[in-house]
Chain A
Amino acid sequence: MENMVNIKINGMPLSVPSGSTVLEAARMAGIDIPTLCYLKGINEIGACRMCVVEVKGARSLVASCVYPVNEGMEVQTNTPKIQKSRKMTLEMLLSVHNKDCLACKRSGNCEFQTLCNEMGIEDSNRFEGAMPDASTDESTLHLVRDNSKCILCRRCVAACEAQHVAVIGPNNRGFDTHIASPFERSLNEVPCVSCGQCIVVCPTGALTERDQCDEVMAAINDPEKFVVVQTAPAIRATLGECFGMPVGSNVKGKMVAALRRLGFDKVFDTDLGADLTIVEEANELLERVKNGGPLPLITSCSPGWIKFCEYYYPELLPNVSSCKSPQQMTGAVIKTWYAQQNHIDPKNIVVVSIMPCTAKKFEVKRDDEEAAGVPDVDIALTTRELARLINMAHINFARLPDEEFDPALGISTGAAAIFGATGGVMEAALRTAAEKLEGRSLDSVDYKEVRGTQSLKEAVYHVGGMDIKVAAVSGLNNADELLKKVKNGEGGYHFIEIMCCPGGCVNGGGQPIQPASVRSFTDLIGDRSKALYEEDKNLPLRKSHENPIIKMLYKEYFETPGSHKAHEVLHTSYTPRKRY
């Protein structure tokens, strides 16, 4: 039994675990104290003063997000003094804020705007005066920073530090304080990995993905172009959130219907590319085990992780699987095999991918990702951009029927479905590798030891007369810890899965933005992941190598996994990058 303390909140007696903050205690009493800078476990700095409350006996208002409860404490959360203070905080922030809200991407989904509404701000120009010099950074392929909308909450800084990347921070002081990179370099001149975790924690419109909706609409409306779309495994589990559906709704059918109504010529499933990745990667693992390495083999699906490795662990690049990511494999198959089959010049095909990821915008422009002599994928959109396209077309998403992917590249297995959750690629690969090693079909497909959001998941599986030691991590902080061990020759791993974003793609930097209250107080990653494991459980095929399209592709085109043709089309290469 936890130690409990007795406190009073707004006169109501309450027993709460000792060690709770006043903010957490108030939530137990049904009072959601407003916050701006607070992000549980990531940014607990008590800086923004939105969450102030009165504590009996305290000299002044206290920041409830960092103030611990103690026995007999009496708290007030809604006095005129508190309301006045919170309003003043908002009015001061407004005095240096770019209030072009009607034209802001985050309008309607902005925590600052919501608070101004909730607190009844009547004059957004109550304090007028000098404005700070606010810079914008449009140097990268994945992100736009507009500091005129920044409220200096430092949530992005904390998210970047949590990823062990730490390329942004508060520079200068006082009125000149602004979030930027060292020596005011633009983001493309520092070792940013493009993960976009800063965007999904930003409460305002200061950080947004580089919007490519217009490019997609232009392609769709170009009669010369054959425009194909593919959607990553994690999109179906999150897109519904953009249309008011509960977290964890699987909207695969409606998503396909919406894409068809947007005018794409074909709607394909990146899950097929995921199945293909597994067959190639499992083969690579077996080859390396047979030929003595280099081991551990490390997965290559996550472009943020790849960029991290290139910057921070270039000596481990030989360990990274040469397999292209599912996005790139799907694009490559479309522009080679599918183009040949359908007598379409790959130059006239535009492949658009819908990704949970901002680093995918970087990945499509990487070298050695051009199987048909043209980029495998032309435009990578985030989940949020797809929602924007659907809204612009005024498609009533909730009322759409459920439709199926186009069959040519639209059948996939449960193994591919779980790619979007941390440990999923590992589990999918094991389902295929174990059968190859055993040389027979296995009944068991569940490798539950690698599921979940623990910092490090390890397991040893006895297959084909040998022990295979595996590890799965997500979040680059966890990857960093594991890679230090690997670099020192420790661990004895055969196979490692690394996902850049904490929890994997379901929590990617391109996913729908949920406010801090949801990120701090619900299991966002777990709820989204559940939708994918459900899909896996209910699919007739759960092993990648049993996918009939995959079988056909090898029979007609690639011959065998790891063949010369497969290497030409489905594999890529990496280069060390200089940090500064």
Chain B
Amino acid sequence: MQKRISNLPFKGTPEQKQKLDEIIERHREQKGAILPVLQEAQEVYGYLPVEVQGMIAEGLGVSLEEVYGVATFYSQFSLTPKGRYNISICLGTACYVKGAAAVLDKISSVLGIQPEECTPDGKFSLTACRCVGACGLAPVLTVNGDVYGRMTPDEVEQILAKYE
């Protein structure tokens, strides 16, 4: 699946910018610096929008395309922001055969977002993940740290309502 790209406005703070500058400075002379810088930048910003990748390219003296090529190669990187509550639905084998796809569709339609997207109010984001190691509870979803097992589409709205 191709990486989704956020079109939500960038809300980086001067503090985040300062942290990123420090990260770049620390890796500047290192060969293959793009990967560790992207990893640390994602910890600072939560995701890697064009503004952040642009600063990394400028700072490391490489092209934006080179940075973007790496960012879209590895599944660990996200180009879309996470909401205050990140819903992660397992699409691993066990969850999938137990009907995770229908649960995912329901969440998508309730929130109006696709996997790897965030609601415009920044409240919920949605991730499709692979096996969380709780196959006995399939299908499973997590909201931040909370685990919900044996999910059905009907329960989705009720669960989402718990989060303010």
CB within 8 Å of B: which residues of A?
133, 161, 166-173, 176, 181-184, 190, 580
Contact = CB atoms under 8 A, between A and B. Distances in A.
A182 B68 contact: yes
Given A182-B50, A183-B50, A169 B1 contact: no
B65 A181 contact: yes
Instruction: Give the 10 A-B residue pairs with the shortest CB-CB distance, closest first.
Output: A166-B63, A182-B68, A169-B65, A182-B64, A169-B69, A172-B72, A182-B65, A173-B73, A176-B2, A172-B2
A171 B68 contact: yes
B106 interface: no
Contacts of B66: 166, 169
29 contacts: A167-B65, A168-B65, A169-B63, A169-B65, A169-B68, A169-B69, A171-B2, A171-B68, A171-B69, A172-B2, A172-B3, A172-B72, A172-B73, A173-B72, A173-B73, A173-B74, A176-B1, A176-B2, A181-B65, A182-B64, A182-B65, A182-B68, A183-B5, A183-B53, A184-B5, A190-B64, A190-B65, A580-B50, A580-B64
Contacts of A183: 5, 50, 53, 68, 79
Contacts, number: 45
B100 interface: no
A173 B1 CA distance: 9
Contacts of A161: 63
Nearest to A176: B2
Contact of B54 (A168, A169, A184, A580): A580
Contacts of A184: 5
Contacts of A182: 50, 53, 64-65, 67-68
B28 to A, nearest CB: 18
* Contact-residue size bin, chain B (C-beta under 8 Å from the other chain): 10 to 19
Interface of B: 1-3, 5, 50, 53-54, 63-69, 72-74, 79
Contacts of B5: 183-184
A173 B74 CA distance: 8
A171 B72 contact: yes
Contacts of B74: 173
Nearest to A167: B65
Nearest to B62: A166
Contacts of B64: 182, 190, 580
Chain B at the A interface: mostly helix, strand, loop or mixed? helix
A183 B69 CA distance: 9
A168 B68 CA distance: 10
Contacts of A169: 63, 65-66, 68-69
A173 B2 CA distance: 8
Contacts of B3: 172
Contacts of B50: 182-183, 580
A81 to B, nearest CB: 32
B4 to A, nearest CB: 10
Contacts of B72: 171-173
Given A176-B2, A580-B54, 11 more contacts: A166-B63, A168-B65, A169-B69, A171-B68, A173-B73, A173-B74, A176-B1, A181-B65, A182-B50, A183-B79, A580-B50
Given A176-B2, A580-B64, A170 B69 contact: yes
A580 B3 CA distance: 20
Nearest to B63: A166
A133 B2 CA distance: 10
Contacts of A181: 65
Contacts of B65: 166-169, 181-182, 190
B24 to A, nearest CB: 17
A167 B63 contact: yes
A231 B61 CA distance: 40
A181 B68 CA distance: 9
A170 B1 CA distance: 15
B2 to A, nearest CB: 5
A480 to B, nearest CB: 12
Interface centre among B1, B54, B69, B74 (most CB of A within 10 A): B69
A170 B50 CA distance: 17
Contacts of B53: 182-183
B35 to A, nearest CB: 14
A286 B115 CA distance: 64
B38 to A, nearest CB: 13
Nearest to A161: B63
Interface centre among A161, A166, A168 (most CB of B within 10 A): A166
B76 to A, nearest CB: 12
Nearest to B75: A173
Nearest to A168: B65
Nearest to A185: B50
Contacts of A166: 63, 65-66
A161 B65 CA distance: 10
Contacts of A170: 69
Contacts of A168: 65
A481 to B, nearest CB: 14
A182 B67 CA distance: 8
Nearest to B50: A183
A304 B65 CA distance: 20
Interface centre among A171, A181, A183, A580 (most CB of B within 10 A): A183
